[in-house]
């Protein structure tokens, strides 16, 4: 289910699962998971067009481990627009899911397909929801079982759930590691945070280690080489003070 509390799109789960079924030996396909809005009370304005972006490459799990996806997975909407996701995909604009009409129980489906020669395994895509005038959602995973046992599917979902998604240092998931991501990191420095708040190494803290990840991947969209912003003096002083305080307490 999709909500938009406080102006930000959100999903009710971080990982959704489905099974790819063979269609006459021509391809494997699933129409699940779908996307829905329970009611107008969800915070999604009536008439709002909801789309998705692709945040990362196609993940593939087989034989107990993640590896390079051998074939692309295609997502198609009801207008027959399609996007392919493979092992080289990073961020890319996706497709429109549908326009919420304000009705209770509004629901839309996409079509997820794999070629007929797709090997047995678990395939997973990482998406985020977008809509004009609303903040994008946090990334979420759609994991598809192509012939694995239930136990293997569960193991694959668990492994994929531990993976860091998107480009390292890209807090706002716009496909660029730039000054906007630095600002997010600085605004949450020395606090408990998530990826969208600058916790790039996902240890639960927004700190100097996360700045290093951002700096290592810094590359603005504009051409040319620009200087990398350095943490301001007050941030460094605060970090030093915290370290000294912790040392004295110990």
* pLDDT band, very low/low/confident/very high, at 138 (cuts 50, 70, 90): confident
Sign of the C-alpha dihedral computed for residues 184, 199, 12 and 109 taken in this order: positive
Q: Please tell me the distance from the alpha carbon of residue 149 to that of residue 168, in angstroms, as a whole number.
A: 32
Largest CA distance in the chain: 70
Average pLDDT over residues 202-214: 85
Tell me which of 172 and 137 has the higher pLDDT.
137
Cβ count within 10 A of residue 233: 8
The Cα–Cα gap between 20 and 17 comes to: 10
Mean pLDDT of the chain: 86
> Higher model confidence: residue 181 or residue 85?
85
Distance CA 57, CA 37 (A): 27
Tens-digit pLDDT profile for residues 69-105: 999 999 999 999 999 999 988 788 889 999 999 999 9
Q: Per-residue pLDDT tens for 108-133?
A: 999 999 999 999 999 999 999 999 99
Integer Cα distance of 109 and 8 in angstroms: 21
**Distance (Å, whole) CA 186 – CA 68:** 34
Tell how far CA 127 is from the center of its chain. 5
Confidence tier at 245 by pLDDT (50, 70, 90): very low
In this prediction, residue 230 carries a pLDDT of: 64
> What pLDDT score was predicted for residue 229?
63
| Per-residue pLDDT at 236 exceeds 60 | no
Place of tokens 């593939």: 60
> What's residue 168's pLDDT?
78
Domain boundaries, the chain: 2-161, 179-249
Q: Which one is the CATH code of 2-161: 2.60.40, 1.10.287, 2.30.110, 2.40.160?
A: 2.60.40
pLDDT beyond 50 at 248: no
Lowest mean pLDDT among 1-15, 125-139, 155-169: 155-169
């Amino acid at each position: 289910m999709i909500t938009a509390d406080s102006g930000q799109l959100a999903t009710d789960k971080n990982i959704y699962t489905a099974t790819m079924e063979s269609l006459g030996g021509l391809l494997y396909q699933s129409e699940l998971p779908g996307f829905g809005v329970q009611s107008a009370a969800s915070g999604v304005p009536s008439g709002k067009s909801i789309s998705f972006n692709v945040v990362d490459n196609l993940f593939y799990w087989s034989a107990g481990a993640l590896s390079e996806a051998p074939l692309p997975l295609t997502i198609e909407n009801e207008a027959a627009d399609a996007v392919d996701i493979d092992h080289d995909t990073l961020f890319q604009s996706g497709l429109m899911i549908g326009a919420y009409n304000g009705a209770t129980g509004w629901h839309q489906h996409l079509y997820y397909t794999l070629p007929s020669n797709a090997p047995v395994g678990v395939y997973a895509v990482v998406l985020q929801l977008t809509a004009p005038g609303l903040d994008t959602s946090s990334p979420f995973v759609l994991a598809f079982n192509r012939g694995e046992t239930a136990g293997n599917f569960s193991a694959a979902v668990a492994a994929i759930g531990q993976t860091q998604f998107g480009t390292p240092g890209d807090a706002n998931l716009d496909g660029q590691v730039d000054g906007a991501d630095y600002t997010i990191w600085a605004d949450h420095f020395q606090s408990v945070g998530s990826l969208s708040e600058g916790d790039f190494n996902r240890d639960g803290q927004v700190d100097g280690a996360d700045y290093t990840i951002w700096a290592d991947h810094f590359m603005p969209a504009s051409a040319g080489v620009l200087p990398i912003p350095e943490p301001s003096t007050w941030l460094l002083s605060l970090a030093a003070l915290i370290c000294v305080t912790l040392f004295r307490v110990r």
